């Protein structure tokens, strides 16, 4: 089922166009990776899709309605966005950071309930990091903070989940754990995920589809199952230069 249609997006901060005529559809049960070199507009596109940067032209439609016509709270029920950098600068308990995920569901003077706190704790447990629940968020390592922010995003329980390099500070094991947890949530709960990554192997391993940006435009858009080796070489050589591709246990591995 189509959860969001992104149509002909053109976006810029000042005069120069950063994203030029991007179309994509986010379907339920689908995990999409957004690849591209530094500065190709991946974050800018995510900002447009989550409602933070109004595009110069084009539409992001949920059920036929443009997300820029939604209130901020309405939007947050449909779309969660994990930015590259969190903005928490004050002493806060980890459990309270995760609880921020339920904010879109609370009334103006409402606080999270005991039930919400249990849900937040269970979400930390699902990620295997409940031991941090009572710790001060600011005292954690950058990678641990990243895990907590991912947990907060999952707590938000929106059907469209956007992640901007959520694995950048994570160790080898946690990178794989996080990508497989996000995939599991998408598949079990019929959600749709769009994630920016820098490692094409992580994208090939965990995502159903890969979209590559180049020179402000969509350069390639393909499913990762039954993909042809020659096609992968052609696409990734144009992005990363000379590469090799080997196959191991039915999976392709790109080597630079
Ligand atoms: N707030 C801003 N104001 C003006 N220009 C910006 C702003 N944010 C990004 N840009 C410019 O937009 C272009 C694309 O940036 P963006 O962050 O979208 O790229 P990216 O593909 O996500 O890069 P990276 O992989 O390094 O995170 C860059 O040239 C950048 O300088």
Question: Has residue 87 got a pLDDT over 90?
Answer: no
pLDDT in tens, 30-65: 999 999 999 999 999 999 999 999 999 999 999 999
State the DSSP H helix or E strand holding residue 25, giving kind and residue range, or none if neither: strand 17-27
Rounded distance from Cα 91 to ligand 1 centre (Å): 30
How far, in Å, CA of 82 to CA of 85, rounded?
Answer: 8
pTM equals 0.94
Q: What is the pLDDT of residue 14?
A: 92
pLDDT number for residue 107: 85
- What would the mean pLDDT of 193-216 be, rounded to a whole number? 97
Average pLDDT score over the chain: 94
Model confidence over 129-172: pLDDT tens digits? 999 999 999 999 988 999 999 999 999 999 999 999 999 888 99
- Determine the Cα–Cα distance for residues 19 and 91; give it in Å rounded to an integer: 37
Residue 110: band (very low, low, confident or very high) from pLDDT cuts 50, 70, 90: confident
The domain defined by 2-225 folds into: Rossmann fold (3.40.50)
How far is the centre of ligand 1, averaged over its atoms, from the C-alpha of 34 (Å)? 14
pLDDT (0 to 100) of residue 76? 92
Closest C-alpha to ligand 1, atom 30: 39
Cα-based angle 190, 192, 198 (whole degrees, multiple of 5): 140
Residues of the chain with CATH 3.40.50.300: 2-225
* Whether the CB of 215 sits within 6 Å of ligand 1: no
């Amino acid at each position: 089922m189509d959860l969001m249609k992104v149509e002909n997006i053109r976006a810029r901060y000042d005069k120069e166009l950063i994203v030029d005529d991007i179309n994509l559809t986010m379907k339920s049960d689908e995990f999409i990776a957004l690849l591209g070199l530094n500065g190709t507009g991946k974050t800018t596109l995510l900002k447009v899709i989550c409602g933070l940067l109004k595009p110069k032209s084009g539409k992001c439609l949920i059920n036929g309605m443009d997300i820029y016509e939604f209130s901020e709270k309405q939007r947050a029920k449909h779309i969660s966005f994990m930015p590259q950098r969190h903005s928490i600068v004050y002493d806060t308990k980890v459990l309270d950071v995760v609880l921020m995920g339920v904010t879109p569901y609370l009334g103006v003077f409402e606080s999270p309930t005991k039930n919400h706190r249990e849900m937040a704790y269970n979400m930390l447990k699902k990620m295997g990091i409940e031991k941090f629940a009572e710790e001060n968020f600011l005292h954690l390592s950058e990678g641990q903070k990243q895990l907590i922010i991912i947990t907060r995003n999952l707590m938000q329980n929106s059907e469209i989940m956007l992640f901007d390099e959520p694995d950048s500070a994570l160790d080898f094991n946690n990178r794989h754990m996080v990508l497989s947890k996000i995939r599991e949530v998408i598949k079990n709960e019929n959600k749709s995920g769009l994630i920016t990554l820098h490692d094409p192997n992580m994208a090939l391993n965990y995502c159903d589809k890969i979209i590559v940006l180049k020179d402000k435009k969509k350069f390639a858009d393909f499913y990762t199952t039954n993909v042809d080796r020659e096609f992968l070489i052609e696409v990734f050589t144009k992005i990363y230069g000379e590469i090799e591709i080997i196959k191991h246990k039915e999976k392709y591995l790109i080597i630079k």
